Amino acid sequence: MANLNINIGKLQLKNPVMTASGTFGYGTEFSDFMDLSRIGGTTIRERQGNPYPRMAETPSGMLNAVGLQNKGVDYFINKIYPSIKDIDTNIIVNVSGSTVEDYVETAEKLNSLEKIPAIELNISCPNVKEGGMAFGTSCPSAAQVVREVRRVYKNEMIVKLSPNVTDISEIARAVEGEGADSVSLINTLLGMAINAEKRKPVLSTITGGLSGPAVKPIALRMVWQVSNAVKIPVIGLGGIMNATDAIEFMLAGATAIQIGTANFIDPTVSVKVVDGINEYLDKHGFKHVSELIGALEI
Amino acid sequence: MANLNINIGKLQLKNPVMTASGTFGYGTEFSDFMDLSRIGGTTIRERQGNPYPRMAETPSGMLNAVGLQNKGVDYFINKIYPSIKDIDTNIIVNVSGSTVEDYVETAEKLNSLEKIPAIELNISCPNVKEGGMAFGTSCPSAAQVVREVRRVYKNEMIVKLSPNVTDISEIARAVEGEGADSVSLINTLLGMAINAEKRKPVLSTITGGLSGPAVKPIALRMVWQVSNAVKIPVIGLGGIMNATDAIEFMLAGATAIQIGTANFIDPTVSVKVVDGINEYLDKHGFKHVSELIGALEI
Amino acid sequence: MYLSLYLIDTQYNIYSMKKFILDLIVKKNVLLSNQYSLIILTSSEKLPEILPGQFAEVRVDGSNTTFLRRPISIHYVDYETNELWLLIQVIGDGTKRMAEVKVGETMNIILPLGNTFASPTRKDAKLMLIGGGCGVAPLLFLGAYFKREGYEVNFLLGARSEADILQKSEYERFGNVYITTEDGSLGEKGFVTQHSVLKGSNFDYIYTCGPTPMMKAVASYALKTNAVCEVSLENTMACGIGACLCCVTDTVDGHVCVCTEGPVFNITKLKWQI
Amino acid sequence: MYLSLYLIDTQYNIYSMKKFILDLIVKKNVLLSNQYSLIILTSSEKLPEILPGQFAEVRVDGSNTTFLRRPISIHYVDYETNELWLLIQVIGDGTKRMAEVKVGETMNIILPLGNTFASPTRKDAKLMLIGGGCGVAPLLFLGAYFKREGYEVNFLLGARSEADILQKSEYERFGNVYITTEDGSLGEKGFVTQHSVLKGSNFDYIYTCGPTPMMKAVASYALKTNAVCEVSLENTMACGIGACLCCVTDTVDGHVCVCTEGPVFNITKLKWQI
Ligand SMILES: Cc1cc2nc3c(=O)[nH]c(=O)nc-3n(C[C@H](O)[C@H](O)[C@H](O)COP(=O)(O)OP(=O)(O)OC[C@H]3O[C@@H](n4cnc5c(N)ncnc54)[C@H](O)[C@@H]3O)c2cc1C
Ligand SMILES: Cc1cc2nc3c(=O)[nH]c(=O)nc-3n(C[C@H](O)[C@H](O)[C@H](O)COP(=O)(O)OP(=O)(O)OC[C@H]3O[C@@H](n4cnc5c(N)ncnc54)[C@H](O)[C@@H]3O)c2cc1C
Ligand SMILES: Cc1cc2nc3c(=O)[nH]c(=O)nc-3n(C[C@H](O)[C@H](O)[C@H](O)COP(=O)(O)O)c2cc1C
Ligand SMILES: Cc1cc2nc3c(=O)[nH]c(=O)nc-3n(C[C@H](O)[C@H](O)[C@H](O)COP(=O)(O)O)c2cc1C
Ligand code: FES
Ligand code: FES
């Protein structure tokens, strides 16, 4: 059995498999199905509560318009944190905001939570007006958020990038330059669904975020581009459904991966991915999972 | 039976259904299966011949790396044009180039072909180095190509936009400003496939163009954005598999639509889409297909 | 009104219930009409405890166009024969494929999901279970439960016409069955809320599931007659287990997930315009 | 060598042949081994003319992960019983689903696609048809055709072991069958090119289909013995009808589409390093 330990900067993972923000609740929703301590980490939202409705199934994917309206970081710290802090895996909090101050304030508060080793700055959510995506689609604004948060946040800072851009490497380099410890990509692609019979958009917000296997080829390409452009670790995600997909992301250059939409179809998928990576490593004679990172032969 | 006639600028179509460049050969490949005169138009490449290999199936889609290497416009004019010019549908020639001069020279030559009522400027092909996509991902370069071609080309000039951009509306407005008669979108999204067993990219070109139903939500969103941003007609495409999909694009703002990848799965799909649009119009009591354009209720 | 007790009861039940991912085997697939199929599933293991009103998330294997699981109500559970019944109405590709499953195939199912209906505290309370279309599905299991608990059960089933009145004899095992059809081909002609049984007597508890307009009409009748009324809502669901937040509905407590806080809601919690 | 004549023949045949999209009905599905299935299809209409070496593009219904059609060789056509035979090797989800089709299901198929093999001009020419693994598929129909045309046919079939030697008795209907298995469980032990029949006599025409390394070894043997050699190539195909240009292979005439200019190529046309 190969060694699956992976470090992302200061963050030590028992294996490279994490779950993606917005798709794994607080983890507890999945505890009937799997042992949470078997995965490398889970990314949860600091803000949760009363989001907007609606999703639409699409070919090999889904659109969501969940948005980020919710009870805020204080609610998270007081009500949620106590009940999840002893889950034996890395808990990464996904942070969003509509102003730079939002991000900074939230990051500062989370900095003091002992059992939260990392935050993931979501500058890429397509579902909120001024709610992040605008920050992630231009270098100066992405750089600014990261710079300000870096001043107050001392633990591992992951920056989650938007795929809705012309040149994602450029944005990645910009946030690296401001002190991001690692980047994760991709967030959802901006999409739309229409009900032809009713002649109306399916989503209340008209457009929403596309995820699932449909986007995997795009995610894989971006992970490959970004990992060739920056020196910090890259966390890959977008449409991962099984261990083979996860391995493809690592070969493209990802140090770790996250699983989102697939959790809905198989709530135990993340542990299956851990097992599958293990089998692959054994079969191909690798001793350590890190041997896969960027091991694509061109 | 409703009226299906549609005009795109100077181009008169018997119905809004066309086939997309690179996916319908010269049309003759499909004549065993369907009556070519039943569709509104077909878009063919002026350059063809010795393309590069490889494609990869992806979830609800495919990646292609066909590229544009081929025998050039003179070959097209001398060898291909005579055999296709009498097909009773609009033949639109998709034009690519690696320099502005390439585009201009090709457009000028095509201008003199009586049976070619329109060209589609492909400034968005992701498969050729300097082969178009670079032009389509920035406003100044997109504007420049269109400006130069407009000087020499007098018939309907459609500009095909790349989805690999942060703000497609901006590019659409730039080409509208330089005299494009209409825009078509989307071309393929840049993607990648990896063979995990071999640890190699599947495509010889590493990355390739993603098409098929997987990209439909993105295409629909872009058509909606662009048709709200420009006054010229928009031709919508990306993942259309049936009449319902086609209607969704028209509701989002498209004046006509193109069908690409779906031709591979059902070579008769385009006539089925024509029939399906007809049924929909009758069922919902529309007299003219143009009533669908942008008829989305928000 | 026994609302708070009900809430405590329900909450207790749901949150203590373990969820399972099971591969169940198709034992029977009965075509009830051109639109409806009854699928009877079984397992070599004993089926887990399931409450009336709960639902399952079914993975649809063998459909090229279906990506997510589909939420389907528990129609009935027969613990003696270890059978789980699902009633499927063909709507799109997912339900079409489900309706075509063959005996011996397995279906991958997550259950039990969601909450349950509130039981009246008094055994002599008058109950009416009103279902329309495929919404009759959860009411069979609910009626069976109530009967076992010693209540007298009334069903009022509505449909377009006789062919769409499903499983009538099954409902008759557990209570009185009243019927309306829009074309009058069976029972009284009209909508459920027009049935004479609703005029003749007053009910203390009304449980309903079906198309939203029907449920709203029932809710309005319940409000007028001062009955406790619970409705079972549908919603587009990606996960069914509270992880995606895609299935929210607006309530007096704000936006809540139908898959965990519902599908059953007391109408006093909903912000319906009725 | 009769190359140019062959080319004219082939071209003529292909371009004059109309292609069809047919819904064929599964008449039989025979599991030949854990990896291979023989699917026998039929139709209420008479099957169109098909030439040996041609293939079909099969739409895979009922596989959640399969999007494009799959190219499959014509294994055999029996015009008397109006049967089309396909030999399926399970590789991924598409072929897995195909191998599971049930009697009575329909399969949507585009055919006939691609070119055909060249017939020797002299009826006394010595022919050898060499197949490996699933590559034996088109050779049955080819052998039957040659036999009907009055040639003497030899088959050399190679596989890993006895269980993977498929349809042996069918091949024996049309010619002499020689066999190699890698483990020696049937026929001679080793690879096809090591079989004694190739040492014993010289062949004028060699037709081969199978894994690329095998075909290259056969091609190299053919070059050495001055035999005319045709190989049937595989390639990733999106359309199968020449529309997408995804399936090109490098030849002395440049990049050409395997689906229209092939799948059968004379080795002198290929840029193989052999
Ligand atoms: C808690 C719950 C319990 C349910 N119980 C049952 C049950 O017992 N039996 C049963 O047959 N169904 C039940 N449903 C509904 C069922 O989940 C949907 O009909 C199914 O998801 C549709 O999937 P599809 O692939 O067939 O159609 P899709 O392809 O997903 O949809 C086809 C079209 O129908 C529309 N549509 C989708 N869902 C519905 C719907 N519910 N009503 C009307 N139009 C719809 C879509 O917008 C689309 O236009 C339940 C739903 C919920 C939330
Ligand atoms: C002209 C032609 C004729 C053919 N005739 C037959 C036939 O008669 N019978 C038959 O069973 N098959 C035949 N094939 C091969 C068949 O088309 C493929 O095996 C099939 O497309 C694989 O589809 P899948 O969904 O099962 O696997 P996929 O999911 O598409 O592929 C699974 C894995 O196998 C790899 N793979 C794909 N195709 C092949 C292949 N051909 N060989 C090895 N690995 C592959 C893929 O890269 C992938 O990693 C033919 C192919 C061509 C081009
Ligand atoms: C329902 C849903 C909600 C999501 N919410 C968030 C979120 O709050 N923050 C975030 O950064 N990403 C969010 N995402 C994006 C995912 O974390 C992930 O980036 C994306 O879905 C791509 O991965 P996948 O294809 O594996 O799902 C959400 C995705 C889904 C499907
Ligand atoms: C095999 C293939 C080749 C293509 N070649 C071209 C091309 O030469 N020029 C072009 O503008 N678009 C080309 N495209 C893009 C299509 O015309 C279309 O924009 C894209 O595939 C999205 O539509 P679809 O999802 O309906 O296929 C090609 C697409 C495919 C699949
Ligand atoms: S369906 Fe995912 S939270 Fe309800
Ligand atoms: S497979 Fe499309 S051209 Fe050959």
Ligand nearest to the CA of D86: 2
Q: How much distance in Å is there from the Cα of C132 to the middle of ligand 5? A: 24
Q: Strand, helix or coil at B94?
A: strand
Residue C34 placed within a domain = yes
Q: How do D153-159 and D55-58 pair as beta strands?
A: unpaired
Q: Is C238 in the pocket of ligand 5 (CB under 6 A)?
A: yes
Same domain flag for D131 and D80: no
Give contacts of A 43-102 with B, CB under 8 A.
56, 58-61, 63
Mean local confidence (pLDDT), B138-146: 93
How far CA D180 is from CA of D169, D177, D209, in Å, comes to 15, 10, 15
Which residue from B57, B59, B268 is facing D21, i.e. has the nearest CB? B268
User: What is residue D68's predicted lDDT score, i.e. its pLDDT?
Assistant: 97
Residue D269 placed within a domain = no
Same domain flag for C17 and C52: yes
Residue by residue, DSSP assigns D225-266 as: HT-EEEEE-----SSSSSSS--SEEEETTEEEEHHHH-SEEE
Q: How much distance in Å is there from the Cα of C103 to the middle of ligand 2? A: 31
Q: How do D127-132 and D70-73 pair as beta strands?
A: unpaired
User: In chain C, how many domains are there?
Assistant: 2
Q: How much distance in Å is there from the Cα of D244 to the middle of ligand 6? A: 5
Ligand nearest to the CA of A263: 3
CATH code, domain carrying C69: 2.40.30.10
User: What is residue D15's predicted lDDT score, i.e. its pLDDT?
Assistant: 54
Report how far residue C220's alpha carbon sits from residue C270's, in angstroms, rounded to the nearest whole number: 12
Report how far residue B197's alpha carbon sits from residue A177's, in angstroms, rounded to the nearest whole number: 35
Digit-by-digit pLDDT tens for chain D (274 residues) are 222 222 223 333 445 689 999 999 999 999 999 899 999 999 999 999 999 999 999 999 999 999 999 999 999 999 999 999 999 999 999 999 999 999 999 999 999 999 999 999 899 999 999 999 999 999 999 999 999 999 999 999 999 999 999 999 999 999 999 999 999 999 999 999 999 999 988 899 999 999 999 999 999 999 999 999 999 999 999 999 999 888 989 899 888 899 999 999 999 999 987 7
User: What is residue A44's predicted lDDT score, i.e. its pLDDT?
Assistant: 75
Do residue A53 and residue C238 have CB atoms under 8 angstroms apart? no
Which tens digits make up the pLDDT trace of C183-225? 999 999 999 999 999 998 889 999 999 999 999 999 999 999 9
How far CA D21 is from CA of A88, B269, D47, D108, D113, in Å, comes to 57, 12, 11, 7, 11
> What is the maximum alpha-carbon separation in chain B?
56
Nearest CA among A204, A78, D129, D49 for reference residue C246: A204
Among residues C68, C88, C113, which one ends one of the domains? Answer: C113
Distance from CA of D36 to the nearest CA of C (A): 21
Which chain A residues contact residue C236 at CB under 8 A? 54-57
The class level of CATH for A6-52+68-190+212-292 reads: alpha beta
Q: Strand, helix or coil at B74?
A: helix
Mean pLDDT of chain B: 89
Whether residue C95 lies within 8 A of chain A, CB to CB, comes out as: no
Q: Return the structure tokens found at D184.
A: 């020696």
Residue B131 reports pLDDT greater than 50: no
Which of B24, B36, B43, B57 to mutate to test binding with chain D, by most D CBs within 10 Å of its CB?
Answer: B57
Residue D98 placed within a domain = yes
Q: Would you say D98 and D39 are in contact if contact means Cβ atoms under 8 Å apart?
A: yes
Would you place residue B167 in the very low, low, confident or very high pLDDT band (cuts 50, 70, 90)? very high
Which string of b and e fits D74-110 if b means at least 16 CB within 10 Å?
bbbbeeeebbbbbbbbbeeebbbbbbbbeeeeebbbb
Only one residue has tokens 């371009």, namely D15
CATH code, domain carrying C215: 3.40.50.80
Residue D248 placed within a domain = no
Ligand nearest to the CA of B218: 4
Which tens digits make up the pLDDT trace of C101-159? 999 999 999 999 999 999 998 999 999 999 999 999 999 999 999 999 999 999 999 99
Which tens digits make up the pLDDT trace of B82-96? 888 888 888 899 998
Same domain flag for C213 and C138: yes
Which residue from A210, A252, A280 is facing B194, i.e. has the nearest CB? A252
User: What is residue A127's predicted lDDT score, i.e. its pLDDT?
Assistant: 52
Would you place residue B47 in the very low, low, confident or very high pLDDT band (cuts 50, 70, 90)? low
Give contacts of C 103-122 with A, CB under 8 A.
110
Q: Strand, helix or coil at D221?
A: helix
User: What is residue B52's predicted lDDT score, i.e. its pLDDT?
Assistant: 54
User: What is residue B125's predicted lDDT score, i.e. its pLDDT?
Assistant: 64
Distance from CA of D102 to the nearest CA of C (A): 11
User: What is residue A67's predicted lDDT score, i.e. its pLDDT?
Assistant: 64
The residue range of the domain holding D149 is 127-232
Q: Is C116 in the pocket of ligand 1 (CB under 6 A)?
A: no
Would you place residue B68 in the very low, low, confident or very high pLDDT band (cuts 50, 70, 90)? low
Q: Return the structure tokens found at A207.
A: 């457009």
Same domain flag for C106 and C181: no
Same domain flag for D97 and D133: no
Catalytic residue, candidates A4, A125, A214, A259: A125
Same domain flag for D102 and D174: no
Could you say which residues of chain A have pLDDT below 70? 46-53, 67-71, 125-133
Would you place residue B132 in the very low, low, confident or very high pLDDT band (cuts 50, 70, 90)? low
Q: How much distance in Å is there from the Cα of C258 to the middle of ligand 5? A: 7
Whether residue D66 lies within 8 A of chain C, CB to CB, comes out as: yes
- Long-range pairs for C81-84: beta carbons < 8 A, 24 or more residues apart: C81/C42, C82/C42, C82/C43, C82/C46, C82/C47, C83/C27, C83/C40, C83/C41, C83/C42, C83/C47, C84/C24, C84/C40, C84/C41, C84/C42, C84/C43, C84/C47, C84/C50, C84/C56, C84/C109, C84/C111
Ligand 6 pocket, mutate which of D55, D68, D233, D245 (most atoms under 8 A from CB): D245
| ipTM for the whole complex | 0.93
Domain ranges of chain A: 6-52+68-190+212-292
Give contacts of C 231-260 with D, CB under 8 A.
none
Among residues C113, C135, C166, which one ends one of the domains? Answer: C113
Which tens digits make up the pLDDT trace of C46-86? 999 999 999 999 999 999 999 999 999 999 999 999 999 99
Four-CA torsion D149, D150, D154, D160, nearest 10 degrees:
30
Task: Tell me the β-bridge partners of C254.
Answer: C251
Closest residue in C to D102 (Cα–Cα): C102
> What is the maximum alpha-carbon separation in chain A?
56
